[in-house]
Chain A
Amino acid sequence: MSEMKRRVFVLCAMLAVAGGSLFAPVHAADPKPVGRVPSPTVKIEKGEKCVEPTDVIRRDHMKFILHQRDETMHRGIRTTKHSLKNCIDCHADPKTNSVLGKDGFCESCHRYAAVSMDCFECHSPAPRKQTGGANTSAAHAPGSAP
């Protein structure tokens, strides 16, 4: 990428972030890798906000989920907030119906960060059908830009 092009790109990116709500429907913040630096695909498909503040969930989601796992398994606690099924209901890509795959919400970031885990050998990466009904429709254009 030439220097000029790069500047224009960066400027556009900054504008896009600044004018988040204007650009919302096109998912302006969907980051295209700049140059050879790879980046994960973090596409938000559904919901206004996460179950925890974004910086907290980004850093500590595994703690919440692993805690919830033992609470549900052994004590029968079925709160939805930190439930893995609940994460998947929101974060699954309506096109692939999954949080996995190259651009899948969970997998793309884990690939990027070289995290390997066995959870999805057992857990379904697809959202539940009962809840909310129209999980599979792509009509959930979120109103807020990520």
Chain B
Amino acid sequence: MSLDRRQFLGLGAAAAGVALAPGLHLIDLVQARSPEDKVNALTRWGLLIDTVKCADCEACVTACHEENGVTGHNRPATDAQWIRKVGLRDKRTGHVQTLPLMCQHCESPPCVDVCPTGASFKRADGIVLVDKHICIGCRYCMMACPYKARSFIHEAVTDQKPDVPRGKGTVESCTLCVHRVDRGQIPACVEACTKDGGQAMVFGDLNDRDSEIHKRLRSEPSSQIRPDLALNTGVRYQGL
């Protein structure tokens, strides 16, 4: 999506946003959509992560896995992982940088391209999801994802969160906390980073010119991971 098109859409979204809910705090409640309205492409949810502020902590990871009931069996090779901290070390200077990596919510997601059943899909508002009702567990999407963002559930699951059903034989990944976003909350990782971490993450509508994320993206430098793949990720980074 070119910036022009995004700006154009942004105008529409901003107008709708104002009409719906004047004066709402941008970070907490980005746009009020009532439960009976379907999601639409006026909104495109995204994240901006400032790696300079990203502290040496795991607050986002812990919060994500707590919120979504993602538990493991102490088997790192196969345990599900919706978000992980990645460390980058400059070989010459030894300078270490960390960043959280999760599903990048691509505009052109390779996982969706390869899915044989249509289980991998992108919602109109840009959130890339697995419809586990249709997923057959073939794991093509896991191979296609350049970010290694998806996990397969190898074993039966119990004690799921009512908001986050999970079960054996299906693939899953970061949902941008779709169940929270749909009720006007921000993703758990962002909330935790703001409260207990380095205040490095911002969540918002990439199309909304009045949102903090849009303002920052248009006034400050930012980058995508693997921009060469031209996936137009919804998750952007600063300070890389």
Q: A51 interface residue, CB < 8 Å from B?
A: no
Could you say which of B35, B39, B133, B161 contacts A79, with CB atoms under 8 Å apart? Answer: B35
Q: Is the CB of A75 within 8 A of B165?
A: no
In contact, A75 and B160 (Cβ under 8 angstroms): no
Stretch at the interface among A1-9, A16-24, A29-37, A120-128: A120-128
Q: How many residues of A contact B (CB 8 A)?
A: 20
Cα distance A82–B163 in the bound complex, in angstroms: 15
B182 on the A face (CB < 8 A): yes
Known: A69-B133, A122-B132, A122-B157. A78 touches B183 (CB 8 A): yes
Contact residues in A for B36 (Cβ distance below 8 Å): 77, 79
A74 CB–B CB distance under 8 Å: yes
A55 to chain B, nearest CB (A): 26
Q: Does A54 contact B (CB under 8 A)?
A: no
**Interface members, chain B 145-183 (any A CB < 8 Å):** 156-157, 159-163, 165-168, 170, 178, 182-183
Is the Cβ of A76 less than 8 Å from the Cβ of B160?
A: no
How many interface residues does B have (CB within 8 Å)? 29
Chain A residues with CB below 8 A from B90, complex form:
none
A126 to chain B: which residues have CB within 8 Å?
162
Chain A contact residues, majority secondary structure? loop
List B contacts of A122 (CB < 8 A).
132, 157, 160, 165-167, 170
In the complex formed, the residue of B with least CB distance to A77 is: B38
Interface status of A145 (Cβ within 8 A of chain B): no
User: Residues 126-138 of chain A: 1 if any B CB is under 8 Å from the residue's CB, otherwise 0?
Assistant: 1110000000000
B157 surroundings in chain A (CB, below 8 A): 121-122
Contact partners of B165 in chain A: CB under 8 A: 122-124
Distance (whole angstroms) from the CB of B236 to the closest CB of chain A: 23
> A121-B157, A123-B160 given. 15 additional CB < 8 A pairs?
A73-B133, A74-B121, A74-B131, A75-B39, A75-B123, A76-B125, A76-B182, A77-B35, A78-B183, A121-B168, A122-B157, A122-B165, A122-B170, A124-B165, A127-B162
Residues of B at the A interface (CB closer than 8 Å) are 33, 35-39, 121, 123-125, 129, 131-133, 156-157, 159-163, 165-168, 170, 178, 182-183
